[in-house]
Chain A
Amino acid sequence: MKTNMPLTRPIRRFIAETERMLDTEVTLLRKPEAPPGGTLIDVYSYNLDKNIIIFPANYIGLLKDFVIAKQCTHLLVKGAAAKTGGYRVLSYNADTVYTGMRQVYLDALKDEAKKDKKLPVKKLIDMLFILYKQFHDDINELPWNPVVNARIYYRMEQLRKTQLYILLKDGKQDMDEMMDMMEIIPRRYFVLDKSMFYARDLYLAKTLPADKLMPVVNIPQMKKFDHLEVKEMLTTRWTHTAWYQSKVFGDNMLTIMEKHLTADWSADSSLEYYGNLYKVGVNLTNAMLAYMTMKDWFIWETPQHLLAAEQEAPVYEKAALKKIFGDLIDES
């Protein structure tokens, strides 16, 4: 482990255990521009000889410890998968990008037909890939969040208060995501996006347990549903709102999560254990994609495939637009 910062003993031990189990090295870096959840740059996803965990410069104590614990757990899952049979991520190619963008376009047309004020054509066209990529980023990350957080809760008791603060903060930030696009993107995608985060927060609220994480307690836009009777919720007044629809879909996604997230979170560490956690995450991801009818939007591939796809993304977008709009699309 390479670091110049103070660490509590449990975290030092956890890093040492990670390094030993994966036969690798972990370096810790503090950077002003790091995102609040930190970043993991690992040897399984990039062409590197060591793993780097980067966290925000203003995280000096237990907040930093939690980020390190979270990223180390993620590293163990990836590493165990890589060592026991192959680590894969959700990637894309020209065909899958076309499939996804075409579906977004068809849904956008349905929504536009009901609107008085139509979206400018350029904005509609730009939105197709942006929305596709947003879901790609979210579905590559979100299923692992409850896996990692449940594991940390049961293995690192001393971080529970820190974890709760960060989860509350993340919950509000995730729900704010896409708010500026709420009136632009097809209602379906706004609802599915919120539903995923709603389900995650509700799963963690039940599993940790932490009542404060319940979206009807933590999320301002959902507080109105707290203590609302079923009969009242079924009235027209509520059913047409995006937030109510997010709750309904989110409750269904919670059922999917509970069905697939069946690991023993307090089990002893081993490569086999983390390899099984990887399979749990993959199964959950597939189940969520099936529920959102996005199975053909992405493909399981090597991390190197995804890196190459990110380079080719503008080409895939252009090709998909050409297929959808034909000669109506300007070459520029």
Chain B
Amino acid sequence: MPVSEIPRILKRAEQYVRQTKYKEALALYDQAIRLEPRNPECWSQRAGAKIEMERFADAVADCDQALALNPNQADAWSRKALALSQVGQYVPALAAATRASTLNANDAVAWYVKGICLEETGKSDEAEIAFAKSLELEILLDIKEEKNRIRR
């Protein structure tokens, strides 16, 4: 299968994730990585599926692979933060979430995870700011989703 198929494979995998069919999604991500192992997007998205399957350590490993290929892959930093926070590693998770929100200021998840990590490390004032930013972005996404729902 040619490398040009990767966007289609990733799109299909994303649909599976939305349908909570994570095993099917994982199989497609594995295929994409086999086709193009130096594509950081494939590793990052596979990490996302592994997070949904609660395979947090594996997800972190995939994020690290993505970041080795592209240190500015914002999604990978965001997913790494999420996976690390889920296993209680709040200090490295905070560093990853901070990097993620710096690279992409519109990542609501990164701000939310940053808020959780700041809360857990005793920085409640900073946590409040991160949560406020996360909520602002989440509301914008919700309004957009609502408009799409009405159009459908």
Contacts and interface: CB of A to CB of B under 8 A. Distances in A.
Interface string A212-253: 000000000000000000000000000000000000000000
B138 A61 contact: yes
A291 interface: no
Given A4-B51, A4-B54, A161 B116 contact: no
B112 A61 contact: yes
The contact size tier of chain A is 10 to 19
Given A4-B54, A32-B18, A62 B134 contact: yes
B145 to A, nearest CB: 5
B18 A6 contact: no
Interface string B130-152: 01101100110110011000000
Nearest to B113: A6
A57 interface: yes
Given A4-B51, A161-B132, A61 B119 contact: no
A161 B108 CA distance: 16
Contacts of A59: 138, 142
A24 to B, nearest CB: 22
A312 to B, nearest CB: 33
Interface in B62-110: 82, 85-86, 108-109
Interface string B106-130: 0011011101100110000000100
Interface of B: 18-20, 51-54, 82, 85-86, 108-109, 111-113, 115-116, 119-120, 128, 131-132, 134-135, 138-139, 141-142, 145-146
Interface of A: 4, 6-9, 31-32, 57-63, 158, 161-162, 165, 169
